[in-house]
Structure 1
Amino acid sequence: MALYDHGVRHFGENYVQELLEKSAALPKDIQWHFIGSLQTNKCKDLAGKVHNLFALETLDSLKKAKKLEEFRSENEFPKISIFLQINTSGEENKSGFDPVNGYAEILEVAQYIQSCSKLQLRGLMTIGSVLQSKSGEENLDFRALVALSKKLEAALGLGEALELSMGMSSDFEEAIRQGATNVRVGSDIFGSRPPRN
């Protein structure tokens, strides 16, 4: 609560169950960002039970977008800001849309979100590869996200730039240099998470 007492209101959470518990117990003016991998069967809880869910930063399918819209529409909760997760590194252990071969799908999901009453397209998110982050050079994964955002903004006719959620505790400085508007630095602030049982 020290950060809250210093005026911070935006917090991220990786796990739906923990977010449900924290959002019920902590002050209602906290703006929660869900930054973990979202399973389809958790969309109902996330959209239907967390009134102050500000953003979902890991949307990776049209099916999940439709579920979120459906369950958020069942109440008077505010819109959820959506970041599409893009797998710019191409690593198999990471979720997200393929920025090249999956562009048509990305565009379809973005257009669907634009038509929603309870979802709002806010930006794109990526997790850069560890090797890119440690290279000391420009991060090609971040560059790919910037390029995709420009292409998508033009295709959607957006009047303002999409936000870019990229960079974590180990590489946020380079991410900011390359245009990040949001960074995920929980490990630097709160320390490493203990292993889950």
Structure 2
Amino acid sequence: MSIAQNLNNIKSSLPEHVTLVAVSKTKPVSDLMEAYNAGQRIFGENKIQEMTDKWQQMPKDIEWHMIGHVQSNKVKYMVPYVKLIHGVDSLKLLKEINRLAVKWRKHINVLLQIYIAEEETKFGLNDQELDEILNSEEVQQMTNITITGLMGMASFTDDKTQIKKEFLHLKSLFDKYKAISTNNCQMNTLSMGMSGDYELAIECGSTMIRVGSSIFGGR
């Protein structure tokens, strides 16, 4: 099937409250434009240089999401373009995003990445670190970021019971903190679920899924 057909098949199966991020990393602009022409406006990249190159070549009504692991020293390259940063996993990174957003007079939405998998290769905050960030006076004084939700990646396994347990843990954290409403914390997004597990993620409460291969084909 074509990219447009794949995209339409997925979108037609999604509940209204679920946002689809088309994970376009490593894919050529021609592929992204096929998805764009089929109505997709949110794309996720994991390399800043690739995202900025595509930003320059593509229509400006696209919302660009940074979905990969972010290093503090690379934030300055993406601030002009990025709408949502999915993988914020430290106070240090949050501070740097806010500092540069102030400098560029931008406002950037972020998701706090939570470590839910039973794999050492994944990044993320643990439950205590999440609590410390959300209750930090320093964070509450940040003027140019908004924490709009949580994000997590389940273990890479075929064990659906394991994946469901991890998703439900993340959902419980989201439910615990979504009542927080401050100038820079408005939790309305729970980003979990990718090509292989997004249907289960939606069952468990996801409001945003990150889908690449099911749209664009394998890498």
Structure 2 length-normalised TM: 0.76
- Could you tell me how far 1:54 is from its partner in structure 2? 1.3
Flag the 1:160–1:3 CA change in 2: closer, same or farther, 3 A. Answer: same
**Corresponding residue of 1:105:** 132
Q: Distance in 2 between matches of 1:91 and 1:143?
A: 17
**Corresponding residue of 2:45:** 13
Give aligned-pair identity as a percent. Answer: 38
**Corresponding residue of 2:200:** 174
Q: Distance in 2 between matches of 1:135 and 1:19?
A: 33
| 1:1-197 aligned within 5 A | 1-47=33-79, 49-50=80-81, 53-77=82-106, 79-99=107-127, 101-108=128-135, 112-131=138-157, 134-137=158-161, 139-154=164-179, 156-157=180-181, 161-193=187-219
- Could you tell me how far 1:113 is from its partner in structure 2? 4.8
- Could you tell me how far 1:160 is from its partner in structure 2? 6.6
Aligned residues of 2:148 and 2:186 also touching (Cα < 8 A)? no
Flag the 1:10–1:36 CA change in 2: closer, same or farther, 3 A. Answer: same
User: For residue 56 of structure 1, what is the amino acid of its counterpart?
Assistant: I
* Matched residue SS, 2:43: strand
Give the count of matched residue pairs: 184
Flag the 1:108–1:23 CA change in 2: closer, same or farther, 3 A. Answer: farther
Which 4+ residue blocks in structure 1 deviate beyond 2 angstroms? 101-109, 111-117, 134-138, 156-162
In structure 1, stretches of 5+ residues that fail to align are none
Aligned residues of 2:46 and 2:68 also touching (Cα < 8 A)? yes
- Could you tell me how far 1:107 is from its partner in structure 2? 2.2
**Corresponding residue of 2:29:** none
Q: Distance in 2 between matches of 1:20 and 1:127?
A: 25
User: For residue 63 of structure 2, what is the amino acid of its counterpart?
Assistant: Q
Q: Distance in 2 between matches of 1:108 and 1:64?
A: 16
Q: Deviations over 1:19-61 (max 9, x none)?
A: 12111221111100100010111011111x32xx110000011
Flag the 1:144–1:9 CA change in 2: closer, same or farther, 3 A. Answer: same
Bigger relative contact order, structure 1 or 2 (CA pairs below 8 A, ≥6 apart): 2
* Matched residue SS, 2:51: helix
Structure 1 length-normalised TM: 0.84
